[in-house]
Amino acid sequence: MKTLLEFMQIHHGQCDQLYADGENSLLDEQMEEGVGQITIFLSEMERHFLMEETVLFPTFEDISGMRQGPTQVMRMEHQQIRNLLARMSDAVTRMDRDEILEVGETLLILMQQHNMKEEGILYPMVDQHLAPYREELMDRMNNVVVSA
């Protein structure tokens, strides 16, 4: 049985790969392909945050009783990252390759730091408290959809 840590690590890796593919296409001057890949990345990042904010975090807070602390910090960081994702989305709309890549540099640093905290601190705590609910939570997170 996969742990919640493993489940979320896989999704982190998928998001990272989507960005890397888009960035590589943009660097290779394949604008249409790169913008398409970045657009998918933006949507999948929002889906990732929604998986956490609508399923994982509330369940963890309810079961553990910890409403302040790690989940609150992650939500604040999500907002910082969302601000950059909004800038990137605007650059995608304008087909501004240089702006997409510039925002991407900052975004990658924030995402790496954020993911390390989640994978090193929060997700192990989540696994400890939510082990009996693992399968249900993974199913619920798999069903999260980003509305248009």
Give the confidence band of 1 by pLDDT, cuts at 50, 70, 90: low
Residue 58's CB is within 10 A of a number of other CB atoms, namely 13
Domain positions in the chain are 10-122
Q: What is the mean pLDDT of residues 14-30?
A: 97
Are the C-beta atoms of residues 77 and 114 closer than 8 Å to each other? Answer: yes
As a whole number of angstroms, the distance between CA 29 and CA 32 comes to 9
Residue 133's CB is within 10 A of a number of other CB atoms, namely 15
Would you state the pLDDT for residue 69?
86
The runs of H, that is alpha helices, within 52-145 are 57-64, 70-93, 97-117, 123-130, 134-142
Q: Give the model confidence (pLDDT) of 96-138 as tens digits.
A: 999 999 999 999 999 999 999 999 999 999 999 999 999 999 9
pLDDT at 16 over 70: yes
Within 13 Å and on the Cβ side, how many CA atoms surround 83? 7
Would you state the pLDDT for residue 148?
66
Would you state the pLDDT for residue 68?
85
As a whole number of angstroms, the distance between CA 16 and CA 5 comes to 16
Burial tier of 99 (Cβ tally within 10 Å: 0-12, 13-18, 19+): middle
Q: Give the model confidence (pLDDT) of 38-92 as tens digits.
A: 999 999 999 999 999 999 999 999 999 988 889 999 999 999 999 999 999 999 9
Would you state the pLDDT for residue 122?
95
Would you state the pLDDT for residue 102?
97
User: What are the phi and psi torsion angles at 53 (to 5°)?
Assistant: -75, -25
pLDDT at 31 over 70: yes
Would you state the pLDDT for residue 124?
96
pLDDT at 29 over 90: yes
